[in-house]
Structure 1
């Protein structure tokens, strides 16, 4: 047995016995409209919410909100992009994306977060390398809080999952708030069923 195998064997032998996870109760949901609570939470984190009636409205919104965008990568059929993406797209090839467009699976009213898996992003780097992220979200797909997220089947079955709340931001240096330091500079949630 090699040193590595002996080391791993000792670690495996020292593992505690498996035991069931405790049941976490569902806490009462706060009062108020989930969409309004989501909007308030996202706005507090620097994000923006807008309403749209159709994919045409989304295309017009992107054109008016980001008039200088040269590279638009869309993972949403019907939303125009200048760079098509597919599961074969190399993640690093999205390094110059001005606007990324994705559809969120669901949102969390408590935190103003949107949940994504590899299915929604298509290429995970779209959520981090894009300068601006536009998220289409059906308001009927809001859950009240994080406790409901962990009970969802899609949370347990995804290979990759992330909750995104607002644009990237830091205030580490001299207490000055900087957006886009480690990720997207703006996050716009478009309410669209």
Structure 2
């Protein structure tokens, strides 16, 4: 037996006794409570949250909020009149350096921390949420879960090549201890809770 196998066998023999995971109480039971908590937390970390009835309403809000946007990319075909809606998978990400606004779907949101889950199934190109100046994510209201545990239950049963949680606009306070928005990604995040 090699020393590696000997060490691994010793570790395996000395494992602590298994105990069941604790039950996590449901902090929010009503959908309205979950949406209110999500909104409160998301706003507190710098996001702007809008409750909307349709993608047309999303488009109206974004065109008003970002009237000066020169280049807009969207994963929604409904935005074809105002945005690029087809991005070739092999495109050089450097060609998106001038991207003002990206409008993308999110699979789910988490009320506990205001985070939104996005995978390569929702993204025409992985770099989009990070390279744009302004990011808008659209998530169905029914897909907001109370806690990260519920989010992990949902995403743990799926297959995807890439996934990320996005929570608020990009920010850092490393530079001379002053808050800088957009240092590592989008300067603003607009979240649309779609009925």
* Short-chain TM bin: 0.7 to 0.9
Deviation at 1:14, TM superposition (A): 7.9
What are the equivalent positions in structure 2 for 1:1-193 lying under 5 Å apart?
Answer: 16=8, 24-31=21-28, 33-80=33-80, 81-83=82-84, 84-153=86-155, 156-193=158-195
Find the residue that maps to 2:35 and give its secondary structure: helix
Deviation at 1:192, TM superposition (A): 1.2
- Give the 3 Å change call, closer, same or farther, for CA 172–157 of structure 1 in structure 2: same
CA RMSD of aligned residues (A): 2.6
- Give the 3 Å change call, closer, same or farther, for CA 154–30 of structure 1 in structure 2: same
Find the residue that maps to 1:96 and give its secondary structure: coil
Unaligned runs of at least 5 residues, structure 1: 1-9
Find the residue that maps to 2:130 and give its secondary structure: helix
Instruction: Find the aligned partners of 1:13 and 1:96 in 2 and give their Cα distance.
Output: 54
Unaligned runs of at least 5 residues, structure 2: none
Find the residue that maps to 1:70 and give its secondary structure: coil
Normalising by structure 1, we get a TM-score of 0.83
Instruction: Find the aligned partners of 1:63 and 1:186 in 2 and give their Cα distance.
Output: 15
Deviation at 1:158, TM superposition (A): 1.6
Deviation at 1:119, TM superposition (A): 0.8
Give the number of aligned pairs: 183
Normalising by structure 2, we get a TM-score of 0.82
User: In 2, are the aligned partners of 1:42 and 1:111 still within 8 Å (CA)?
Assistant: yes
